[in-house]
A and B are shown apart, each in its own frame.
Chain A
């Protein structure tokens, strides 16, 4: 892809093309996030099943970010990195990663499905705590497997 620049052989992170969006930490914005994922996946030539899996995994990461954004409603930042052999979505927020709390009306063990789904659908899931108390989740889908 020419977007990688003239020196596309170099695989330094800074040479990679990425697309990013920032959305408010509200569950009503999850549809916008899925639209972004679909656009990125289509551009990268993924099939419908792969795009569905990415939508679910990215939504789960973002829903978790919404859940622990608390009253601050600090925005969520989403970056899609176009590697030659993989697609990496990076979701960053400014809250700490927490397992979803039980809410009235839900049985406790119906909750907390987000992380298992991410792990089941993606090839690699990493969760990092950021120095500023934020959380950074990277979801990787390897291509041509």
Chain B
């Protein structure tokens, strides 16, 4: 797994590449903790190059979602169909505070729309 944090519009965006299994859990959790400063309300995860994820990564994503759900939302960008199916199985996709975007441009447009 490779993980790095940038910004898209005003939100932290954590780009997660490769395979996210139990050996990557601690590193991913640390990246999320570092990206989310005190006043962070919403966060984006770019999964466009994430080829595999299991409960090692999903547990971190669920924990992150619970952290932001009160005041903000969690957006995932470009998950592949298999990753997306796992999100459905664990029940993330039924919550409107969990948003899925096809690509970064769609995420950016959506943020512009909600800000305006």
Contacts and interface: CB of A to CB of B under 8 A. Distances in A.
Interface of A: 27-28, 30-31, 34, 48-49, 52-53, 55-56, 59-60, 63, 66, 105-107, 110-111, 113-114, 116-117, 120-121
Interface in B74-116: 81-82, 86, 89-90
Nearest to B62: A110
Interface residue tally on B, bucketed by range:
20 to 34
- Mostly, the A contact residues are helix
B58 interface: yes
Interface of B: 19, 21-23, 29, 52, 54-56, 58-60, 62-63, 66, 81-82, 86, 89-90
Contacts of A110: 59-60, 62-63, 66
Given A27-B21, A30-B21, A31-B19, A52 B90 contact: no
Contact of A60 (B19, B29, B55): B55
Nearest first, the 9 A-B pairs at minimum CB distance are A113-B55, A27-B23, A52-B82, A27-B22, A110-B59, A110-B62, A63-B22, A110-B63, A120-B89
A63 B59 CA distance: 13
Nearest to B30: A105
A31 B21 contact: yes
Contact of A105 (B22, B29, B54): B29
